Amino acid sequence: MGETTAAVLGIDVGTTATKSILVGEDGHVLAEAEVEQAVSTPRAAWAEQHPDMWWASTKEAVGQVLDRAPAVEVKAIGLSGQMHSSVFLDGDGAVIRPAILWSDGRTSEQCRWITDEVGLDGLYRSVGNLALEGFTAPKVLWLRDNEPESYERLRSLLLAKDYIRYRLTGELATDPSDAIGTLLFDVREQTWSREMVDRLDISPDILPRVLGSSEVSGVVMGSVARELGLPAGIPVVGGGGDNAAAAVGTGVVDVGQSQSSIGTSGTLLTPIGEPRVDSAMRLHTFIHCLSDQWYLMGVVISAGSSLRWLRDVLLPNRTGDGYDLLTSEAATAPSGSEGLFFLPYLSGERTPHNDSAARGVFFGLHLGHTRAHMVRAVMEGVCFALRDSLELMRELDVSLTEIRAVGGGASSTLWRQMQADVYRVPVVTMGSSGGPAYGAAMLATVGIGLLPSIREGASRWLQAEEPLEPTKSEADRYDELYQGYRELYPVLKEQFRRSAESIERL
């Protein structure tokens, strides 16, 4: 038998795909795999996936990377995944119903009830975030209100990555960076919030134990190991919610650093050294994978998914993914898309509007517009939406001097340059590293002692590429266009509300 290479396995349970990655002890990527997943939308504004699909995708993705790097000895597994999405298990550990995803907008009534019951002051004091449709607690209440028989069976509540942990190890556990997205976890004390659990009348018994992001949570069971083609007993580390794990994977672990992610959703994230909460809670204050760090984050629910939607509409019979064709066409259109704006609110919006009724809008179409203009307008609209979060951070005196780009959007030079110009901040990528699965692999490496700390891991493993600097003329132009973009939502807000109400009556 030949020599083997020691490696760690990172798994990221995303929305549109589950990804796996094998990383050597030096941080070098040995193999990657991605298995696409569909989102079920049984009703308008609903979004569901069955956890068994995540497990099937995980097994397939892990099998692919092991085939691509056969001479690898897996030392540990790290986990990451979409935040907030709810997994409901019964007393036998069986899935009760499909998971209600982070992008699901059905829980507006439950969010209003939480706000009335706990109060804005209570939310600020305990969890540091508004009651929003994406979070997990409203989904639990929706189950209680609308599917009482299912609620009566509920014995365990898990998040996406933690369901994979459960299937791997049999352990029910999570970590602070994911727990904070449930709206049931105290942002300052970093424990399950007794106030929230009591006020919402949710049994604390359904909540998993919480352990550190780089702490071993269990080991791979023998029967599962055989199914995956791995040896039994491999340690599985706590891991992190996708945004925090992605920040670890790009080295965004200290104050002054920042990360922009354009995947299915879009986020702008920057670490802070204390749990600073925006007075109106328009930004999220979440917990990082490091014990001494929190982070501020703004969210665009439909970022990369807006471009994916447009691709599917414009290129229904495409060969390949079609993105290169569309973005190369977009590069031929001028900045501002000749007066065409796009509001990327296809599934409602989070930051700064917190409006589940908001919807996508093309504004300013004329007969001279082409496919190139439409694609560019979508890309610009996502950047403008992320700049909304940047402006809120600046109001809190948080300075962003460099942004590290991750997600599918980071693979587009045009989109990265557009971000640099819209934000007026240099944008860099991290080569082959970055992303939640890579961050999960780093956490796993720290968890078994092959790296002394997350910060040391970032220093040893990561190397930023040459930044894209803002172009002054384009940045000046985008400043002007951004003001026009910001004027659209207030004008349309009431129409969004009326439209949502009319759909609910159907």
Domain positions in the chain are 5-250, 303-400+474-504
Residue type at 495 in one-letter notation: Q
The mean pLDDT of the chain is 95
Mean pLDDT value of segment 96-100? 98
- Report the percent of the chain where pLDDT is more than 90: 87
Rg (C-alpha) for the chain, rounded Å, is 22
- Highest average pLDDT, of 270-274, 318-322, 382-386, comes from 382-386
Place of tokens 């699909």: 53
Residue 443 CB partners (closer than 8 Å, separation 6+):
78, 213, 214, 237, 238, 239, 240, 245, 248, 289, 454
Q: How many CB atoms lie within 10 A of CB 366?
A: 9
Q: Is the predicted pLDDT of residue 1 greater than 60, yes or no?
A: no
Tell me if 5-250 shares its fold with 303-400+474-504.
yes
Mean pLDDT value of segment 414-441? 91
Q: What is the pLDDT of residue 256?
A: 84
- CA dihedral sign of residues 355, 119, 106, 191: positive
Mean pLDDT value of segment 49-66? 98
Q: What is the pLDDT of residue 399?
A: 86
Is residue 20 a contact partner of residue 58, using CB atoms and an 8 Å limit? yes
| Assigned token pair, 409 | 């959007």
Q: What is the pLDDT of residue 45?
A: 81
- 408 pLDDT band, cuts 50/70/90, is confident
CATH architecture of 5-250: 2-Layer Sandwich (3.30)
- The secondary element (H helix, E strand) that includes residue 284 is strand 284-287
**Using CB atoms within 10 A of its CB, is residue 431 exposed (0-12), middle (13-18) or buried (19+)?**
exposed
Distance from C-alpha of 342 to C-alpha of 359, rounded to nearest angstrom: 10
**For residue range 230-288, what is the model confidence (pLDDT) as tens digits?**
999 999 999 999 999 999 999 999 888 999 999 888 999 999 999 989 989 999 999 99
- 477 pLDDT band, cuts 50/70/90, is very high
Mean pLDDT value of segment 180-205? 97
Residue type at 263 in one-letter notation: G
CATH superfamily, region 303-400+474-504: ATPase, nucleotide binding domain (3.30.420.40)
Q: What is the pLDDT of residue 356?
A: 84
Q: What is the pLDDT of residue 319?
A: 83
